């Protein structure tokens, strides 16, 4: 069963940043879908909790120099 979450994104300064984050997350194992909203500086992720944790999603985003707030 898919888990859906919305996280604030830090470090996005142009729309290309949003595309990078979206591609990176979408390619991560366990991620069904990722949608970055540049205007609201958030990312919506649908993922399989058995395959990937929010902490691992955060690490993936940090690998390319951004961050997400995973504390709800
Ligand atoms: Mo825009 Mo983002 O020129 O990493 S792509 S700032």
Helix (H) or strand (E) run with residue 44 in it = strand 42-47
Name the pLDDT band for 72 (thresholds 50, 70, 90). low
How remote is the CA of residue 12 from the centroid of ligand 1, in Å?
7
| Ligand 1 atom with least separation from CA of 16 | 5
Sketch out the chain's domains with CATH numbers. Answer: 3-68 (3.30.70.100)
- The per-residue pLDDT for range 7-66, each reduced to its tens digit, is 999 999 999 999 999 999 999 999 999 999 999 999 999 999 999 999 999 999 999 999
Q: Which of 11, 16, 38 to mutate to test the pocket of ligand 1 (most atoms within 8 A of CB)?
A: 16
The number of residues in the chain equals 72
What ipTM did this prediction achieve?
0.84
Rounded CA gap, 31 and 11, in Å? 21
């Amino acid at each position: 069963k898919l888990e859906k979450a919305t996280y604030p994104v830090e470090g996005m300064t142009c729309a290309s940043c949003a595309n990078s984050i979206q591609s990176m997350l979408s390619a991560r194992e366990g991620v069904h879908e990722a949608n970055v909203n540049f205007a609201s500086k958030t990312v919506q992720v649908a993922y399989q909790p058995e395959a990937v944790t929010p902490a691992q999603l955060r690490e993936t985003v940090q690998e390319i120099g951004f961050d997400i707030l995973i504390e709800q």
